[in-house]
Chains A and B, each alone.
Chain A
Amino acid sequence: MASVDEIKRTWLVNGRRTEVRAVPGRRVLDILWEELGLTGTKEGCGEGECGACTVLLDGDAVASCLLTAGQVADGTEIMTIEGAMETELGRVLQQAYMEAGAVQCGFCIPGMILSSWALLKRNARPTEEEVRVALAGNLCRCTGYVKIVEAVLLAAERWNGGKGGKA
């Protein structure tokens, strides 16, 4: 077997410069959990189907179970649910999810909130269809999605009165 050398990368994790040393094939999900103590990101299927492990990479929702450290360049911004909760948009989404009754077991919710965050950051007044497309990669076994979609539409209405803005 070829030798596997550790790599050193500096990422901006939840706004903080974070130096990571890992073998390049280490999953970003495992680095978040085991090196950085960020356990809000969940592992559901481990195959990129369910969206529980969603994080934002430079603002885009990605599956952290399919991404290895070696694919993530120096300087990349990574936002996890912990970081989202430090933002105004994250708090608006959290409140809307609670009020809409969108959370049952809660396992899918960190990923749902991050996909919602990515959507509203780019599109402050999405249609219901746009919400459904943005959340299509996040599976929920409990709710049937109706209240989750309602929660995102409610958050959009509330976030700066529907004008969006700086997250």
Chain B
Amino acid sequence: MRVAEGVAYAFPKTLAEALEIQRDGGTRGRPLAGGTDLMALWAAGVPAPERVTVLRGIPELERIELDDASGTAFVGAGVTHGRIRDHEGLTRVAPGLVAACGSVGARQIQAVGTIG
């Protein structure tokens, strides 16, 4: 059996559902978003957990909001490096973050990896 095939997945659709799952020790799983770090760890021999909670595709975690007036931005934990790298507004407000996200791994990692 390969890497994560024995892992049970939970698929919350909203942040509230995810929190509900994580609140209870009986259902709580390792949070899994892009999984680019976790899968590499498991492939390298670190034991995979019994359960993961998938955080990909939860709208509240994938928001980017800019406030140009104050020069601030809200970036959800589930936003990928690639979306930040290509985001024109963020280039104005947070150029360091944009540059950092464009230098994580390579394109293949940036497309699914999240900032967490």
A residues apposed to B, CB below 8 Å: 1-5, 7, 23-27, 30, 46-48, 51, 54, 57, 60-63, 65-68, 70-71, 73, 115, 118, 133-134, 136-138
Contacts and interface: CB of A to CB of B under 8 A. Distances in A.
Contact of A63 (B11, B51, B108): B108
B50 A2 contact: yes
Contact of B108 (A23, A51, A68, A133): A51
Contacts of A70: 9, 11, 52, 54
A138 B82 CA distance: 17
Interface in B63-101: 82
A73 B43 contact: no
Contact of A115 (B34, B44, B107): B107
Given A51-B106, A73-B57, 19 more contacts: A1-B8, A2-B8, A3-B8, A4-B5, A5-B8, A24-B8, A25-B4, A25-B9, A26-B4, A27-B3, A47-B43, A61-B107, A63-B36, A65-B39, A66-B112, A71-B32, A115-B107, A134-B107, A137-B105
Contacts of B4: 25-27, 68
A3 B48 CA distance: 14
Interface of B: 2-9, 11, 32, 34-36, 39-40, 43-44, 48, 50-52, 54, 56-57, 82, 105-109, 111-112
A7 B9 contact: yes
Contacts of B6: 1, 4, 23, 25
A1 B109 contact: no
A27 B7 CA distance: 12
A136 B106 contact: yes
6 contacts: A4-B5, A4-B6, A54-B108, A62-B108, A65-B43, A66-B112
A133 B56 CA distance: 26
Nearest to A122: B86
Task: Give the 4 A-B residue pairs with the shortest CB-CB distance, closest first.
Answer: A137-B106, A25-B4, A2-B8, A24-B9
Contacts of B34: 71
B35 A66 contact: yes
